[in-house]
């Protein structure tokens, strides 16, 4: 008797034993990349010298950076399109939609494995597959046919009973879990949804939940593949991809959480963390400046139809700016076809492209001190582009209701129609380009924004560096390597990107690193949470950071540090964190000791103290670190 997660993992197991906490390696059937992480992933793939991708399907999406204010983004897009054509990868053009929405609609298949260089790749697990977010190098490795190494996860059953009430959304299910478990509550775990309540959720609703499972820090989340899945695939004209998949009756789960959907009420994640949850009724009446409906969390057909039902025949409040970004061109076309787009335009909404847009700070930054209601998944400090703005994460229903009243509004008492076709059926793949059949003759386009890939040097036997920055708990990859319109154009130019590292925590961090010939980072709990961007390891590596010493790490960032040859260490006694100050000189002896033991001693030369630390890595990680990162390691093996 097996749970669904282990059923799929077993079918893809290359190395190791399916036992929670054990290292395993699995085969990846599909890969996806987006433009902000894709350029680096494909440069790494090129460096591996493989002629063609070895996956069943690989797709390169352009959705993050489409502003094209300057030649840089356009250079990146041209590079991505030519690389895809040459190496056997499908290319989804800018305007075709957000990677996770398009992948869910057009490519995700029950029972398969998918790895994507974006932390919200688990969105596709709504389809009954194992979809995992990772750094670009891990995706490049998967494209080269190399298995993906991970810690075998614990499986948490999330048992759903009952039915969502009018005005309550699947967003509220995942916000409830975040309230119960926090942004660290899912580390090392897969959340598997079961129970009668599952049947009442459409694939789009399920995908909101699997999408934001990333905010729990989970490896992934998964729903069974059932009649609802079949119907979704049928509407997408790919019913032949359907297979029924579910957990065996009476199978083992490591933990169980029960949520009664009948009892749920609308919730909001308050600034600046997705787990700072309050009831919308508690916030009701707070003046709102901006409302944004979209992102890979809530931009599916059903989300936009619900929002439109509330907005129909109304006008937005004078104090509110409302923007709507559909998740895919298919959804947008369906909204045009059935007249819903007119509802949005008529109520005063501004229609944005089918891209990530404001979710990654690409335009639509709110005004100073604004209250911004967003249907997105992250509300980290500064992510909107306005440091003083407060971002509240809510459902499309709460967002739409509040856009009309101008204050935070509970939609449960509003009268509106929420009965409509649950799945959209407009199919158009004309902006998805198949790879060239004549790959030898495809020339890769490298504009001036495509800079050479920096590679680390093998690890020194002793790390003796200063603490160039000391950081608190819950530092995100947005803190380390910021996003937004100013920075995103340089994702394929690490030299330039490195000038923005920690810009909101410590201005001129890059210069501090240069003056000290690199250094060591010290941080609190959950270091590197949030986006999968490997630039958060790559740019510090470029600045000469050799080790990162924390109370704990987020999963993807930990893997990225190893991939780029930065030694990750955690305090054995967390109170030692308090004893270290910025600019203390730390000395760590490495010679052979990692192979003997992952427990090391850090000497604080400045304070004449020592601390016990632990490297949370596997045996193969040691080889990678010693080689100076995964690229060197792979090259050495070839
Ligand atoms: Fe794009 Fe935002 Fe989703 Fe990331 S979280 S893929 S930036 S919409």
- Both tokens of 93, joined, read 């053009």
Please name every residue paired with 602 in a beta bridge, in sequence order, or none if there are none. 588, 611
- pLDDT score, position 227: 98
Mutate to test the pocket of ligand 1, among 100, 300, 352, 491 (most ligand atoms within 8 A of CB): 100
Judge whether 76 and 449 are in contact, CB under 8 Å. Answer: yes
Q: In angstroms, rounded to a whole number, what is the distance separating the alpha carbons of residues 487 and 509?
A: 15
Nearest CA to ligand 1 atom 6: 296
Q: Which helix (H) or strand (E) holds 364?
A: none
Q: In angstroms, rounded to a whole number, what is the distance separating the alpha carbons of residues 619 and 23?
A: 10
Radius of gyration of the chain (CA): 23
Q: Kindly give the parts of the chain with pLDDT less than 70.
A: 422-423, 591
- pLDDT score, position 382: 86
Does residue 378 carry a catalytic annotation?
yes
Judge whether 96 and 68 are in contact, CB under 8 Å. Answer: no
Mutate to test the pocket of ligand 1, among 66, 215, 323, 360 (most ligand atoms within 8 A of CB): 360
| E runs forming strands in 429-563 | 432-433, 462-470, 519-522, 545-550
- pLDDT score, position 367: 96
303: how many CB neighbours lie within 10 A of its CB? Answer: 30
- pLDDT score, position 307: 97
DSSP letter (8 states) at residue 624: H
- Both tokens of 612, joined, read 């016990």
Pairing of strands 30-33, 113-116: parallel
- Tell me how far CA of residue 223 lies from CA of 28, 244, 250, 491, in angstroms: 19, 11, 17, 34
Phi, psi at 212, each rounded to 5°: -85, 0
Secondary structure class of 473 (helix, strand, coil): coil
* Helix locations, 406-471, DSSP H: none
Nearest residue to 300 (alpha-carbon basis) of 170, 462, 173, 433? 170
Which residues contact ligand 1 via a Cβ below 6 A? 64, 98, 100, 118, 120, 295-296, 356, 359-360, 377
The crossing angle, in degrees rounded to 10, of helices 340-347 and 301-311 is 50
SS (H, E, C) 613-627: EECCCCHHHHHHHHH
Ligand 1 centre and the CA of 343: distance in Å?
25
For residue 47, say if its preceding peptide bond is cis, omega within 30 degrees of 0: no
Q: In angstroms, rounded to a whole number, what is the distance separating the alpha carbons of residues 545 and 277?
A: 36
Nearest CA to ligand 1 atom 1: 356
- The burial class, CB within 10 Å (0-12 / 13-18 / 19+), for 150 is buried
The number of C-alpha atoms within 13 Å of 97 and in the hemisphere containing its C-beta is 29
Q: In angstroms, rounded to a whole number, what is the distance separating the alpha carbons of residues 512 and 509?
A: 5
Q: What is the largest CA-CA distance in the chain?
A: 72
Nearest residue to 349 (alpha-carbon basis) of 315, 395, 393, 313? 315
String of b and e for 215-233 (b: at least 16 CB within 10 Å)? bbbbbbbbbbbbebbbbbb
Does residue 533 carry a catalytic annotation?
yes
Tell me the pLDDT tens digit for each residue of 108-126: 999 999 999 999 999 999 9
Judge whether 131 and 221 are in contact, CB under 8 Å. Answer: no
The number of C-alpha atoms within 13 Å of 278 and in the hemisphere containing its C-beta is 13
Indicate yes or no: pTM above 0.90. yes
Nearest residue to 574 (alpha-carbon basis) of 520, 521, 525? 525
Ligand 1 centre and the CA of 125: distance in Å?
16
Name the catalytic one among 29, 35, 63, 275: 63
Pairing of strands 57-61, 585-589: unpaired
Q: In angstroms, rounded to a whole number, what is the distance separating the alpha carbons of residues 398 and 286?
A: 13
- Tell me how far CA of residue 294 lies from CA of 335, 347, 373, 390, 520, in angstroms: 14, 17, 11, 18, 39
Does residue 118 carry a catalytic annotation?
yes
DSSP letter (8 states) at residue 146: P
DSSP letter (8 states) at residue 575: G
- The burial class, CB within 10 Å (0-12 / 13-18 / 19+), for 83 is buried
Nearest residue to 525 (alpha-carbon basis) of 187, 38, 265? 187
Does residue 63 carry a catalytic annotation?
yes
For residue 272, say if its preceding peptide bond is cis, omega within 30 degrees of 0: yes
Phi, psi at 557, each rounded to 5°: -65, -35
The crossing angle, in degrees rounded to 10, of helices 170-181 and 203-212 is 20
Q: In angstroms, rounded to a whole number, what is the distance separating the alpha carbons of residues 578 and 156?
A: 34
Name the catalytic one among 533, 535, 555, 557: 533
67: how many CB neighbours lie within 10 A of its CB? Answer: 16
Ligand 1 centre and the CA of 356: distance in Å?
5
Ligand 1 centre and the CA of 112: distance in Å?
22
Does residue 76 carry a catalytic annotation?
no
Pairing of strands 432-433, 90-92: antiparallel
Ligand 1 centre and the CA of 331: distance in Å?
17
Ligand 1 centre and the CA of 482: distance in Å?
14
Q: Which helix (H) or strand (E) holds 113?
A: strand 113-116
Q: In angstroms, rounded to a whole number, what is the distance separating the alpha carbons of residues 128 and 192?
A: 10
Name the catalytic one among 76, 118, 172, 510: 118
DSSP characters over 375-432: SSS---TTTTS-TT-EEEE--HHHHHHHHHHSB---GGGS-----S-SS------TTE
Q: In angstroms, rounded to a whole number, what is the distance separating the alpha carbons of residues 204 and 399?
A: 18
Task: Work out the angle at residue 573's Cα, subtended by the Cα atoms of residues 568 and 574, and round it to the nearest 5 degrees.
Answer: 75
């Amino acid at each position: 008797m097996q749970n669904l997660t282990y059923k799929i993992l077993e079918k893809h197991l290359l190395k190791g034993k399916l036992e929670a906490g054990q290292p395993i390696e699995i085969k990846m059937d599909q890969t996806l990349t987006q433009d902000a992480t894709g350029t680096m992933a494909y440069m790494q793939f090129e460096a591996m010298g493989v002629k063609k991708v070895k996956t069943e399907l690989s797709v390169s999406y352009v959705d993050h950076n489409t502003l094209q204010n300057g030649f840089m983004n356009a250079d990146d897009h041209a590079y991505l399109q030519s690389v895809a054509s040459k190496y056997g990868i499908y290319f989804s053009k800018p305007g075709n939609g957000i990677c996770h929405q398009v992948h869910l609609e057009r490519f995700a298949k029950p029972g398969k494995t998918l790895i994507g260089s974006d932390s919200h790749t688990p969105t596709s697990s709504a389809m009954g597959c194992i979809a995992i977010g990772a750094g670009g190098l891990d995706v490049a490795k998967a494209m080269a046919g190399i298995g993906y190494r991970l810690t075998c996860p614990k499986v948490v059953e999330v048992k759903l009973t009952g039915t969502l009430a009018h005005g309550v959304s699947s967003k509220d299910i995942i916000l409830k879990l975040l309230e119960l478990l926090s942004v660290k509550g899912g580390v090392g775990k897969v959340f598997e949804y079961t129970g009668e309540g599952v049947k009442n959720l459409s694939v789009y609703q399920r995908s909101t939940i699997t999408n934001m499972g990333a905010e729990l820090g989970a490896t992934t989340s998964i729903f069974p593949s059932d009649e609802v899945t079949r119907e979704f695939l049928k509407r997408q004209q790919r019913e032949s991809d359907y297979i029924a998949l579910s957990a065996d009756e009476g199978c083992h789960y490591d933990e169980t959480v029960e949520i009664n959907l009948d009892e749920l009420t609308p919730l909001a994640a308050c600034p600046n963390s997705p787990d700072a949850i309050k009831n919308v009724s508690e916030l009701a009446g707070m003046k709102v400046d901006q409302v944004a409906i979209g992102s890979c969390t809530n931009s599916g057909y059903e989300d936009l139809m619900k929002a439109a039902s509330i907005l129909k025949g109304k006008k937005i409040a004078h104090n509110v700016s409302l923007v709507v970004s559909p998740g895919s061109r298919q959804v947008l076309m369906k909204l045009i076809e059935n007249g819903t787009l007119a509802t949005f335009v008529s109520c005063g909404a501004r229609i944005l492209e089918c891209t990530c847009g404001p979710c990654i700070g690409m335009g639509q930054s709110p005004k100073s001190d604004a209250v911004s209601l967003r249907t997105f998944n992250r509300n980290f400090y500064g992510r909107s582009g306005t440091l003083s703005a407060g971002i509240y994460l809510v459902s499309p229903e709460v967002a739409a209701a509040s856009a009309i009243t101008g204050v935070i509004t509970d939609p449960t008492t509003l009268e509106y129609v929420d009965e409509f076709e649950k799945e959209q059926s407009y199919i158009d793949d004309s902006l998805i380009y198949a790879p060239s059949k004549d790959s030898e003759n495809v020339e890769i386009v490298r504009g001036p924004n495509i800079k050479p890939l920096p590679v680390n040097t093998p690890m020194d036997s002793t790390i003796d560096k200063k603490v160039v920055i000391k950081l608190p708990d819950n530092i995100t990859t947005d803190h380390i390597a910021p996003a937004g319109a100013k920075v995103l154009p340089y994702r394929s130019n690490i030299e330039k990107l490195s000038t923005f590292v920690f810009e909101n925590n410590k201005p001129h961090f890059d210069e501090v690193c240069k003056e000290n010939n690199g250094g060591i980072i010290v941080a609190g709990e959950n270091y590197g949470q949030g986006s999968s961007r490997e630039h958060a390891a790559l740019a510090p590596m470029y600045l000469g950071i050799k080790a990162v010493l924390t109370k704990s790490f987020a999963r993807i960032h930990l893997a990225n540090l190893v991939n780029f040859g930065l030694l990750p260490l955690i305090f054995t006694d967390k109170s030692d964190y308090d004893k270290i100050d910025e600019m203390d000189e730390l000395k760590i002896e490495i010679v052979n000791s990692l192979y003997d033991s992952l427990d090391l001693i850090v000497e604080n030369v400045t304070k004449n103290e020592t601390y016990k630390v632990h490297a949370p890595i596997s045996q193969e990680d040691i080889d990678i670190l010693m080689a100076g990162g995964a690229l060197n390691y792979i090259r050495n093996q070839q």
